[in-house]
A and B are shown apart, each in its own frame.
Chain A
Amino acid sequence: MLNKRTGTKLGVAAAGVAVLAFALTGCPGDVGMIGAEDAAERVYVAPGDYDEFYAFFSGGYSGQLSVWGLPSARMFKVIPVFSQDPETGYGYSEETKPLLQTSYGFIPWDDSHHPQLSRTDAMPDGRWIFINGNNTPRIARIDLEKFETVEILELPNTGGNHASSFPTQNTEYVVGATRFSIPLEEDLDVPIDTYRENFDGAITFVSVDEDSGAMELAFQIRMPPYHYDLGRAGMGVSGDWVFFTTYNVEQAHTLLEIEASRFDKDYIAAVNWRMVEEAVANGAGSQIPGQYLHNTYDPATGVASSTAHDGVRVVDPSEIPGAIFFLPTPKSPHGVDISPDGELIAAGGKLATVIPVHSFSQMIDAIENERFEELDNGIPVLEYEATIAGEVQDPGLGPLHTEFDGRGYAYTSVYISSEIVKWSTETFEVVDRIDAYYSIGHLMLTGGDTREPQPQYLVGLTKTARDRFLPVGPKQNHPAQLYDVSGDQMVLLKDFPTIGEPHYAQAIRADLLRDGSKRIYELSDNQHEHVTRRPGEARVERDGNVVRVYMTSIRSHFTPDNIEGVEVGDTVYFHVTNLEQDWDIVHGIAIKGAQNAEILLAPGQTKTMKWVPTRTGIYPFYCTAFCSALHQEMQGYVRVSPEGSGVPLAWRTGTRGSN
């Protein structure tokens, strides 16, 4: 019965979609098209010249973060974050393995969604970029001097950390929130259909140390078991608040596609983090169990380590009256995006036919005048009419996510009708629209989520490429489009394939990062336990069946490069130090038969490759990075003898060595 009715409804809806899509978009026209030469000129960055912006694209199911230049759309680097990276040895070297540890053990993968630059005064300050891991809930911090992941914090009591990793306007906190509500006692063994009784939502506040950037799980708020989809911290007037969209107010736990789409309205949750912070400081909340790992990378040693925690302070909304409100919002909203002045709260109601835009000041009025519709789990639900500032009509089908240009316009990605609509934040009327190729998710306007947007470029992050590029089989990479938004009309400049599935992106003016980018690790500052600072200190040591090779790399030889005395059954650690102190002079190491990836070493770095030889023989190892004209000559041999054969340890390079 249910299925049949639903099917009929869907059929009608689909027909409606088709008609409406046509009505809204009309025939494909030449709106927003410019000459190819003109577009080419606008994205052209001459060889040797630099781009205006750095852009950071999340890797989605690649788990990584890629770094791009705008407007050229050239990719500079992939920063490994949540996934092992055999290209660099991230997650393979002994130094980096701890970063991927969780309370569930070593996890070599995650799904990274929303990169967020650290902020000062609601503007990116170029110090760090945070990104969430959705699957096994985590937040990572990437250092923007080194462009390397330096910290990963696991979030307990969370199922799908999706509404993350949004920072408050001075990066006091980054937030996480559960996308799939689960029992807060994570190991609780209960029937799934006890959802209403046993499941909870959790919003997590992670504090960020002002100087070091170090993260700490500050507190969580126990929320009704809805799904928390996206978040945003306020700016300026709304700077004390964080907003989250919710869906599945229906509290479904199966066939959510239908079951969680029943109600006309879900909520935006508005949380006054300052009040919660204060309440927690005054003893609100209680400590409940919650296992999580905190992995940090020590910049002095270059070695990551994990600390296990058990227990987290959880605050119940009833303990913090006046700190949390629900704003009814149609319908299963995705994005919740704040205008540069902090006043407008635009929701992307992905099943809605309008873009509802709330007003922060109206929200404050409504709270003061207690214009509540009802209480939901003790949280006041404000009257829709009281907070709504406007509804953008005819925004297309499936509006998802909005960014602002600071000149009175907002840009919303619209998934189903595959377009971007530009609307006035004064009149809430659509003033321009342009196609996306195809099925756009998030969009990113340069600085479009900050206090002062730089409305030059807009990147649309789309989900399917279909016919846009030369075909590469049934599964193709996700594309992105670059638009020029400096004029009245949006202009498509370029589309290009990306890596993974970029869910969201950030951009920052190039000069804020360019000059601070580190060129080398100072060898004299290298505090690694197994550093070898000079070839003369290179050696091989045995301790039981552990053999440690203290090795140096410099153009174009390893020291030592001949090693004997290793036996089958030994565990061999190559502690290799790259002695170079010159920018971008990288060495690597790999040895035949090692069940491991290569390890790459930046200038001045020490990294460790583990190898457990299983067969006797002569094992060549070599430098995997083309370091110099004599790169091929940068190699060596290890002799592996039978277990217990007693071949004495010996090593040499050239005429220098142990004997």
Chain B
Amino acid sequence: MTTRTKSRLLLALAALVMIPAFVTPLWSIGLTAPQYPEGLGMHIYINDIVGHDRHDLQNINILNHYIGMQPIDPATVPELEIMPIVLGALIATGLLAALIGRPWVMAGWLGTFLVAGIAGMVDFYLWNIDYGHNLSPDAAIKIPDMTYSPPIIGTEQILNIRASSWPHLGSLFLGVAAVLAAVAVVMAFRARRTRNGDEGQPAAARTRGGDDASTETAALRSSSDPGPADGESPRGTGKRPVRWPVSVLVVTLAFTAGCQADPPPQDAAGEIHETDRMVYGQDQDPFCGGEVEEVRWGGEVQTQDGEVFRFRSVECLAAFLLEGRVPDSRVEKIRVVDFPSGWKLIDAKEATFLQTPNLSSPDRLNLMAIQGDRMIRNLHDAYTGRLMGWDEVLSFVGSEWSLPGDRDASTDSAVRSRGAS
């Protein structure tokens, strides 16, 4: 069998391998939460969205309604009607391209296939963005600046829910089809080149026959190419068709790598390192006393010799410093918990603080640390009050609690809080 015939058969095979994608899920989104240890989830088929278990979709929608997400209803997603047609057309044209057998036709088909795949992914991404961001103003639970888009690939913690999104069996078939088609295209070009009398190719590898009379020569750099093609000096436009099948291979391999197995199990803490977060009930507040039971209002001071003091509120932290319990010269880092995230530690000097009359902190000075202009604006709108920089916080706490305030409000903190007013 000639290389060219092989390439055509391979392309036909690629088209046929796509058929199971009609009936197997392309993607799987899984959600786990403390209350859902077994998880909820949905499979995205080419023409439908189906819960992992019979009622998962309903249950996901019930949970989502608290935060104002639109219900996921397969009947309202037009793509689910279009995509089967696209897939059918791809299979039909793939078989046609194999029949025609010209390398450029085959490459063109592969290109169309990949563009369709990328378009599908972009569309999926846009749906995710829409579901996660386009929230009902009547939602019972509103968290300023919080959005809920699940990841396209990978795992993400969204409030109490851990969302994982991974390609499923259907995508595996499509990925295999892409690889097969890429190999077919490479072989087709190779067949044409050898037929055109490339000197670098061993005679044994030459093929006969075929009616392709293209004048272009393709120098292949596929890793599967046993010939000394690397030594070839590609001419003119021949360079492009040579390179992109290779990149297609890389892309499709990367794409299908995700299909190999379920996502690796992740620790509940995920990539969050223990040192980067505060944990309930683990520390004693060295200034205000008692266990740090609320983390959201808290912060920490790290000294140069590695000692860490953790506080249940920004005011305790500020007072601790104002009293000089640790001399300024020893202080390495002052970090406060980013209030909206509830656990993330941020540099106090970079944070903006909202002193609000509408929420009580553990020590009643109600200083919430925030980062980012939009979040600052949202929380300020929601809770009202006065925005401060770190130095202002120190003097505020100093005057409220009559502590030895040795600092002044610096001008730059006023500048930092400007964006939120």
Q: Is the CB of A629 within 8 A of B55?
A: no
Interface residues on A, range: 10 to 19
22 contacts between A and B (CB under 8 A): A520-B55, A554-B62, A555-B62, A555-B66, A556-B140, A580-B59, A580-B62, A581-B54, A581-B55, A581-B58, A581-B59, A582-B55, A582-B58, A582-B59, A582-B62, A628-B66, A629-B66, A629-B140, A629-B141, A630-B66, A630-B140, A633-B140
Residues of chain B with a CB closer than 8 A to A582's CB: 55, 58-59, 62
Residues of chain A with a CB closer than 8 A to B55's CB: 520, 581-582
State in angstroms the CA–CA spacing of A580 and B55 once bound together.
9
State in angstroms the CA–CA spacing of A477 and B168 once bound together.
55
Q: CB-nearest residue of chain B relative to A554? A: B62
Q: CB-CB contacts of A628-647 with B at 8 A, as 1s and 0s? A: 11100100000000000000
Q: CB-nearest residue of chain A relative to B38? A: A583
Residues of chain B with a CB closer than 8 A to A630's CB: 66, 140
Residues of chain A with a CB closer than 8 A to B59's CB: 580-582
State in angstroms the CA–CA spacing of A520 and B140 once bound together.
26
Q: Identify which of B55, B59, B66 gathers the most chain A CB atoms within 10 Å of its CB.
A: B55
Residues of chain A with a CB closer than 8 A to B140's CB: 556, 629-630, 633
State in angstroms the CA–CA spacing of A65 and B62 once bound together.
34
Residues of chain A with a CB closer than 8 A to B141's CB: 629
State in angstroms the CA–CA spacing of A556 and B63 once bound together.
10
Q: CB-nearest residue of chain A relative to B59? A: A582
State in angstroms the CA–CA spacing of A630 and B59 once bound together.
16
Shortest beta-carbon distance from A654 to chain B in Å: 9
Shortest beta-carbon distance from B203 to chain A in Å: 66
Q: In terms of DSSP, what is the predominant structure of the interface of chain A? A: loop
Shortest beta-carbon distance from B417 to chain A in Å: 33
Residues of chain B with a CB closer than 8 A to A580's CB: 59, 62
Q: CB-CB contacts of B134-160 with A at 8 A, as 1s and 0s? A: 000000110000000000000000000
Shortest beta-carbon distance from A586 to chain B in Å: 13
Residues of chain B with a CB closer than 8 A to A629's CB: 66, 140-141
Residues of chain A with a CB closer than 8 A to B66's CB: 555, 628-630
Residues of chain B with a CB closer than 8 A to A628's CB: 66
Q: CB-nearest residue of chain A relative to B62? A: A555
Residues of chain B with a CB closer than 8 A to A556's CB: 140
Within 8 A of B (CB), among A303-337: none
Within 8 A of A (CB), among B338-361: none
State in angstroms the CA–CA spacing of A633 and B55 once bound together.
25
Within 8 A of B (CB), among A338-387: none
**How many positions in chain B have a CB within 8 Å of any CB in the partner chain?**
8
Q: CB-nearest residue of chain A relative to B55? A: A581
Residues of chain B with a CB closer than 8 A to A520's CB: 55
Q: CB-nearest residue of chain A relative to B40? A: A582
Residues of chain A with a CB closer than 8 A to B54's CB: 581
Residues of chain A with a CB closer than 8 A to B58's CB: 581-582
Q: CB-CB contacts of A386-422 with B at 8 A, as 1s and 0s? A: 0000000000000000000000000000000000000
Shortest beta-carbon distance from A471 to chain B in Å: 34
State in angstroms the CA–CA spacing of A520 and B51 once bound together.
16
Within 8 A of B (CB), among A525-583: 554-556, 580-582
Top-7 shortest CB links A-B:
A581-B55, A582-B59, A581-B58, A555-B62, A630-B140, A582-B55, A581-B59
- Known interface pairs A520-B55, A581-B54, A628-B66; 15 further A-B residue pairs with C-beta atoms within 8 A, sorted by A's residue number: A555-B62, A555-B66, A556-B140, A580-B59, A580-B62, A581-B58, A581-B59, A582-B55, A582-B59, A582-B62, A629-B140, A629-B141, A630-B66, A630-B140, A633-B140
Within 8 A of A (CB), among B39-62: 54-55, 58-59, 62
Within 8 A of B (CB), among A605-659: 628-630, 633
Q: CB-nearest residue of chain B relative to A654? A: B138
State in angstroms the CA–CA spacing of A609 and B220 once bound together.
79
Shortest beta-carbon distance from A479 to chain B in Å: 33
Q: CB-CB contacts of B204-230 with A at 8 A, as 1s and 0s? A: 000000000000000000000000000
State in angstroms the CA–CA spacing of A554 and B59 once bound together.
11
State in angstroms the CA–CA spacing of A554 and B63 once bound together.
11
State in angstroms the CA–CA spacing of A580 and B140 once bound together.
19
State in angstroms the CA–CA spacing of A580 and B66 once bound together.
15
State in angstroms the CA–CA spacing of A555 and B58 once bound together.
12
State in angstroms the CA–CA spacing of A520 and B53 once bound together.
12
State in angstroms the CA–CA spacing of A628 and B141 once bound together.
12
Shortest beta-carbon distance from A578 to chain B in Å: 12
State in angstroms the CA–CA spacing of A520 and B141 once bound together.
27
State in angstroms the CA–CA spacing of A19 and B66 once bound together.
72
State in angstroms the CA–CA spacing of A580 and B63 once bound together.
11
Shortest beta-carbon distance from A496 to chain B in Å: 27
Residues of chain A with a CB closer than 8 A to B62's CB: 554-555, 580, 582
Q: CB-nearest residue of chain A relative to B54? A: A581
State in angstroms the CA–CA spacing of A265 and B62 once bound together.
68
Q: CB-CB contacts of B47-85 with A at 8 A, as 1s and 0s? A: 000000011001100100010000000000000000000
Q: CB-nearest residue of chain A relative to B56? A: A582
State in angstroms the CA–CA spacing of A555 and B61 once bound together.
11
State in angstroms the CA–CA spacing of A628 and B59 once bound together.
13
Q: CB-CB contacts of B19-38 with A at 8 A, as 1s and 0s? A: 00000000000000000000
Residues of chain B with a CB closer than 8 A to A554's CB: 62
Q: CB-nearest residue of chain A relative to B51? A: A581
Q: CB-CB contacts of B256-275 with A at 8 A, as 1s and 0s? A: 00000000000000000000
Shortest beta-carbon distance from B342 to chain A in Å: 16
Shortest beta-carbon distance from B374 to chain A in Å: 26
State in angstroms the CA–CA spacing of A628 and B35 once bound together.
11
State in angstroms the CA–CA spacing of A582 and B54 once bound together.
10
Q: CB-nearest residue of chain A relative to B60? A: A582
State in angstroms the CA–CA spacing of A602 and B398 once bound together.
56
Q: CB-CB contacts of B158-181 with A at 8 A, as 1s and 0s? A: 000000000000000000000000
Residues of chain B with a CB closer than 8 A to A633's CB: 140
State in angstroms the CA–CA spacing of A554 and B58 once bound together.
11
State in angstroms the CA–CA spacing of A581 and B59 once bound together.
7
State in angstroms the CA–CA spacing of A554 and B54 once bound together.
18
Shortest beta-carbon distance from A554 to chain B in Å: 7
Q: CB-nearest residue of chain A relative to B36? A: A582
Q: CB-nearest residue of chain B relative to A520? A: B55
State in angstroms the CA–CA spacing of A554 and B55 once bound together.
14
Shortest beta-carbon distance from B143 to chain A in Å: 13
Residues of chain B with a CB closer than 8 A to A555's CB: 62, 66
Q: CB-nearest residue of chain B relative to A523? A: B55
Q: CB-nearest residue of chain B relative to A582? A: B59
Shortest beta-carbon distance from A182 to chain B in Å: 52
State in angstroms the CA–CA spacing of A619 and B130 once bound together.
42
State in angstroms the CA–CA spacing of A337 and B206 once bound together.
88
Shortest beta-carbon distance from B349 to chain A in Å: 36
State in angstroms the CA–CA spacing of A416 and B194 once bound together.
101
Shortest beta-carbon distance from B138 to chain A in Å: 9
Shortest beta-carbon distance from B114 to chain A in Å: 40
State in angstroms the CA–CA spacing of A629 and B62 once bound together.
12
Q: CB-CB contacts of A486-528 with B at 8 A, as 1s and 0s? A: 0000000000000000000000000000000000100000000
Within 8 A of B (CB), among A86-108: none
Shortest beta-carbon distance from A561 to chain B in Å: 15
Q: CB-nearest residue of chain B relative to A524? A: B54
Shortest beta-carbon distance from B155 to chain A in Å: 21
Q: CB-nearest residue of chain A relative to B140? A: A630
Q: CB-nearest residue of chain B relative to A633? A: B140
State in angstroms the CA–CA spacing of A286 and B201 once bound together.
104
Residues of chain B with a CB closer than 8 A to A581's CB: 54-55, 58-59
